[in-house]
Structure 1
Amino acid sequence: MSPHDDQTAQEYWEAHYGERERIWSGRVNAQLPGILAGVAPGRALDLGCGEGGDAVWLAENGWQVTAVDISDTAIGRAAAAADARGVRDRIEFERHDLSDTFPEGTFDLISAQFLHSTVRLERPQILRNAADAVAPGGRLVIVDHAAPPPFSKKVPHDHPFPSPEEVLAELDLPDAQWERARVDVVERDGTDPDGQPFTWRDNVMVLRRRA
């Protein structure tokens, strides 16, 4: 049994964001700029936007963004960041528990960056819903942790971290409609809370819906 089983997902994430005034760095996630290099901007959906680092970066680079999170606190911080950087008019914020509801419409880019949770998250169904909402010619971008950081105290030892091939097998998207533009594991440098270096491993999956 998870230690969070007595909390709803929204309660858990509100408590998480309430721990500190800022949880994340405010910068775009590391893999996204390279993935989108040379891609013409259009309509983007940011799943689990947190405090807005990716949504703001996308808006600054010409995308019209719908940014979604379960936490009102996170959305408030993301909206404040968008205001501060002059792109609030390019981002629409919506609160969703993606296990239950999903934004309407279709998108040229749907980004799921580190969409992990130790509380209820119907991830396979969410990613299938995301695939259904990608416009022809658009991209579904999934970036996952390949494993938990060694210093993590919140991730149960049996929490799953599926490989890229396992994620794609679960999605089971038809080859006639989808192209695997990129599927690999990428290493990047990081530091632990004590400032010591360690290596992150990210699963990167870029799927393009055939036009």
Structure 2
Amino acid sequence: MIRNDGLVTDNIVAGSPASPLLPAAGRYVGDPEVAANWDQRYAEREQLWSGQANGALVAEVAGLTPGRVLDVGCGEGADAVWLARRGWDVTALEVSGVALARAARHAADAGVTVRWVHAELTHAALTPGSFDLVSAQYPALLRTPDAAAERALLAAVAPGGVLLLVHHAGMETRERHDDGFDPADYVWPSMVAALLDEDWKVELDEQRPRLAPDGGAGAHHADDEVLRARRLR
């Protein structure tokens, strides 16, 4: 169900014993300013992204056995729908209620089921080790001194599971933009890689040409930084 205020309610997991999520359904969990900023960005366009699954996700997930997946920063739901169509049990997390409402409509049109979570990653109270795949495609995760977002990504992966983190290559070394965007405020793959210990095996850490879908914001970025790591225990 989608409420008039844009929040997805009945589709969000309500913390049942079989669920990897603990928060009650329907309430945003996180910094209201973060949600408001993203709601404003999404509201400026009827469709912000291309509507197609990200190319790096398609390439890297092709050989994996479907299981439980967390889609971090799911946006308008293209990746979540693509994964669900291929047999994955999908939980999709997003700070923007506007984006979640669109994502839920797309999933309904596709005839697939997705658990929608309206929260920041660091506030979502995910049960540790719950997901066979944690996919974060170009996430806007805020950097903090305690590396909370990086640790939350790693903590969500089940033993034997995979973290797939993809971002625009070269961004972390750029200067602050005139519009106020400062790459130093955000988490980049190198920061997550720096936290990997003997419990992890890095399967891929490289820069490569981006498999970019046509249209949508961010289509001008030509190269990806791809980190794929498997949790051993």
Equivalent residue number for residue 182 of structure 1: 204
Equivalent residue number for residue 63 of structure 1: 88
CA contact (8 A) 2:56 2:210 kept: no
- The structure 1 residue matched to 2:59, chosen from 23, 26, 34, is 34
- The structure 2 residue matched to 1:126, chosen from 142, 149, 161, is 149
CA contact (8 A) 1:96 1:102 kept: no
CA contact (8 A) 1:191 1:198 kept: no
Q: When the two structures are superposed, what TM-score results if normalisation uses the length of structure 1?
A: 0.80
The 5 A counterparts of 1:96-175 are 96-104=119-127, 106-116=130-140, 120=142, 122=144, 124-147=147-170, 154=179, 156=181, 158-160=182-184, 164-169=189-194, 172-175=195-198
CA contact (8 A) 1:164 1:184 kept: no
Instruction: Give the structure, 1 or 2, with the largest relative contact order (CA under 8 Å, sep 6 or more).
Output: 2
Distance, in Å, in 2 between the alignment partners of 1:86 and 1:184 is 35
Distance, in Å, in 2 between the alignment partners of 1:128 and 1:162 is 11
Does residue 21 (structure 1) correspond to residue 46 (structure 2)? The answer is: yes
CA contact (8 A) 2:92 2:117 kept: yes
Unaligned segments of structure 1, at least 5 residues: 1-6
Q: Secondary structure of 2:55's partner? A: coil
Distance, in Å, in 1 between the alignment partners of 2:47 and 2:59 is 25
Distance, in Å, in 2 between the alignment partners of 1:74 and 1:210 is 34
Tell me the C-alpha RMSD between the 2 structures: 2.8
Structure 1 residue 131 displacement after superposition: 1.0
Q: When the two structures are superposed, what TM-score results if normalisation uses the length of structure 2?
A: 0.73
Q: 1:92 to 1:192 in 2, by over 3 A?
A: closer
Distance, in Å, in 2 between the alignment partners of 1:198 and 1:121 is 24
CA contact (8 A) 1:14 1:73 kept: yes
CA contact (8 A) 2:56 2:211 kept: no
CA contact (8 A) 1:98 1:121 kept: no
Does residue 82 (structure 1) correspond to residue 107 (structure 2)? The answer is: yes
Distance, in Å, in 1 between the alignment partners of 2:40 and 2:91 is 24
Percent of residue pairs identical:
37
Structure 1 residue 102 displacement after superposition: 3.8
Kindly indicate which of the two structures has a greater share of residues assigned to strand.
1
Structure 1 residue 115 displacement after superposition: 0.9
CA contact (8 A) 2:202 2:230 kept: yes
Unaligned segments of structure 2, at least 5 residues: 1-31
